[in-house]
Structure 1
């Protein structure tokens, strides 16, 4: 079965089968929801229900069929899920069997099918209860600019360097870095790296090859992108192209 991939600001959603990753960790909180009669294997342990994995926790995952959501910890949902994790690296989520959704088609939006899961987790609806709301207008505008990349209007990351952004915001670099962490709950560099991964994925989905995607996302070359991609998602770009049938 061909996996279906959705990209949203602050969230990557995958529905598919036969997912198998190498050991990796990433900035996102991961939510796993196997399909009916499906199982997952996490670090050698077999499970059947929904599972949360905290950010920056190394894990190796395989799953026969189901949903995977990667959620930015700085979002309202990310913060709510961190509260549910309560300092644990993983957390089982008890769900009623009736909440398992049907298999989506490539034309479906995932949120109606995922609504029962979100409801039981107390997350509410997307996007109304999802996005983080920095109070500083300068950071608000910066995040809005980065969101444009998800919609296909990429800004090459040479313009995303802290010194350059600080200059645009009429701040010193140190003040910008402090303000960003204060407002967003994460330092600038790992946040930017996560965004660049989304930019590369979006470029691949739009038909670019790995070299073109690397350029658009601000990497030196496709090998640099693939190494970084593997560190973040547990697979190389080549494996992602095969898995998602993007080429």
Structure 2
């Protein structure tokens, strides 16, 4: 998921994705945890599941949430020796030039930037074949809770439920249920950006109610559904 728009301040949070944040204008501040010193930079990479806070108020930012098991996620993760890697001003300027080649971000410019500047020659980590089948299945059935039960997913994987949970964690670096929650949160964010209310987005993505969605947003994104809906950021989910 890639979003861009007016920057905000987030509370400490973490999520199962590699995060790239690029200030298209001005600069941003980032740190791992509350109480630690802020680092001022133009861009940063955050390791999957690493706690972090971002203060990008006053800047226009582009944020990419990238699955670590994807080719791009593997390429970015290789550049993050600790929890947060700060990008040099020179490289961030190159990224801005690629993203905003036409004067403002565009789908075509972002795609070229991802493929030419970030992807490189990296390939995704080897996944258990049953886990790979589950990944394809859940992306096509996020709107169907019954299709995402452990028993149903075990049938898709061709494994016992206990073996699937073990294989999934070993392949993905995160347990099955937290991973599904992250996908549903991405779906809800997309609904919010398309104009849905918090209640509508919650129900569409399989959350119990708007309060459940709000708690998950705060924990995994450091913000609220209302802030996401109000940001009017453009989004691309793929």
TM category, shorter: 0.7 to 0.9
CA distance in 2, matches of 1:117, 1:201: 22
**Counterpart among 96, 101, 108 of residue 100 in structure 1:** 96
Give the number of aligned pairs. 221
- Which segments of 5 or more consecutive residues in structure 1 lack a partner in the other structure? 1-11
CA distance in 1, matches of 2:70, 2:184: 17
Tell me what 2:48 maps to. Answer: 55
Asked whether the 8 Å contact 2:3–2:233 carries over to 1, the reply is no
Tell me what 2:196 maps to. Answer: 208
Asked whether the 8 Å contact 1:50–1:92 carries over to 2, the reply is yes
Asked whether the 8 Å contact 1:32–1:67 carries over to 2, the reply is yes
Asked whether the 8 Å contact 2:21–2:45 carries over to 1, the reply is yes
CA distance in 1, matches of 2:221, 2:232: 13
Aligned-pair CA distance for 1:226 = 0.8
Aligned-pair CA distance for 1:45 = 2.2
**Counterpart among 212, 224, 234 of residue 236 in structure 1:** 224
Aligned-pair CA distance for 1:130 = 7.4
CA distance in 1, matches of 2:139, 2:209: 23
CA distance in 2, matches of 1:239, 1:74: 29
Structure with more contact order per residue of length (Cα contacts < 8 Å, sep ≥ 6):
2
Aligned-pair CA distance for 1:79 = 2.2
Asked whether the 8 Å contact 2:6–2:233 carries over to 1, the reply is no
CA shift in 2, pair 1:91/1:226, >3 Å: same
Tell me what 1:90 maps to. Answer: 84
**Counterpart among 103, 109, 112 of residue 112 in structure 1:** 109
Tell me what 2:18 maps to. Answer: 29
Aligned-pair CA distance for 1:133 = 6.7
CA distance in 2, matches of 1:165, 1:202: 24
TM-score in terms of structure 2 length: 0.79
**Counterpart among 182, 186, 190 of residue 198 in structure 1:** 186
Asked whether the 8 Å contact 2:193–2:229 carries over to 1, the reply is no
CA distance in 2, matches of 1:17, 1:130: 33
- SS of residue in 1 equivalent to 2:15: coil
Asked whether the 8 Å contact 2:133–2:156 carries over to 1, the reply is no
CA distance in 2, matches of 1:81, 1:187: 21
- Which segments of 5 or more consecutive residues in structure 2 lack a partner in the other structure? 32-36
CA distance in 2, matches of 1:124, 1:243: 32
- SS of residue in 1 equivalent to 2:174: coil
- SS of residue in 2 equivalent to 1:21: coil
Tell me what 2:144 maps to. Answer: 156
Deviations 1:208-233 (A, max 9, x none): 32222212222111101110111111
CA shift in 2, pair 1:130/1:157, >3 Å: farther
CA distance in 1, matches of 2:157, 2:95: 46
CA distance in 2, matches of 1:66, 1:213: 24
Over the residues paired in the alignment, what is the CA RMSD in angstroms?
2.8
CA shift in 2, pair 1:199/1:131, >3 Å: farther
CA distance in 2, matches of 1:58, 1:93: 18
